[in-house]
């Protein structure tokens, strides 16, 4: 029997309830879902790659068939190396779709054997973005509605640590 493998890539800085929703739902589409933690050069990460891997690994621990791996390569090369036939992407709205549509076209040109599947975020989770979560936290806002409890504590600790360095 062939194992159907999917990849859900992202920076997960930090992992949000929206990410968790896509992971739970994506895991039902494949036998093995690899959450690929990467770094985006255009983003300023709050957490190191190792910290993000630990955070994501802890949060997905109870979901069958999910594993967490870091990567620093073209997504299609990473997916092919894992034997994946599917890339899973979460989409919150039209702006996400336009960007994802372009990425999908490029990925398909690079490797037409790997299909991209879009999962719409649950309606109540659509406004959540890691960038906005970090911004809210940096200005002292409550992020409890957007991230798992332990992630909220880790973000608060990182914000406090950053404030101590700046003072």
Angle between helices 49-59 and 149-166 (to 10 degrees): 160
Cα distances (angstroms) measured from residue 162 to each of 18, 80, 132, 142, 167: 25, 38, 17, 17, 9
158 classed as catalytic: no
150 classed as catalytic: no
Which of these is catalytic: 4, 24, 58, 92? 92
130 classed as catalytic: yes
Cα distances (angstroms) measured from residue 108 to each of 7, 76, 81, 105, 114: 15, 9, 16, 5, 7
The torsion region of residue 140 among left (phi > 0), alpha (psi -120 to 50) and beta comes to left
Distance CA 167, CA 153 (A): 21
Structure tokens at 101: 């549509």
43 classed as catalytic: yes
Q: What is the DSSP letter of 4?
A: P
Which of these is catalytic: 52, 89, 130, 134? 130
Active centre residues (catalytic): 19, 43, 92, 130
């Amino acid at each position: 029997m062939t194992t159907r493998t999917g990849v859900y890539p992202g920076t997960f800085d930090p992992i949000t309830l929206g990410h968790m929703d896509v992971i739970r739902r994506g895991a039902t589409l494949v036998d093995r879902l690899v959450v690929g933690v990467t770094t985006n050069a255009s983003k300023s990460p709050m957490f190191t790659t190792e910290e993000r891997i630990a955070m994501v690994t802890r949060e997905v621990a109870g979901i069958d068939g999910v594993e967490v791996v870091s990567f620093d390569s073209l997504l299609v090369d990473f997916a092919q190396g894992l034997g994946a036939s599917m890339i899973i992407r979460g989409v919150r709205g039209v702006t996400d779709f336009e960007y994802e549509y372009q990425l999908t076209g490029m990925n398909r040109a690079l490797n037409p054997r790997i299909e991209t599947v879009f999962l719409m975020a649950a309606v109540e989770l659509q406004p959540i973005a890691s960038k906005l979560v970090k911004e809210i936290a940096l200005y002292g806002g409550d992020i409890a509605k957007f991230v798992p409890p332990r992630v909220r504590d880790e973000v608060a600790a990182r914000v406090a640590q950053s404030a101590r360095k700046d003072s």
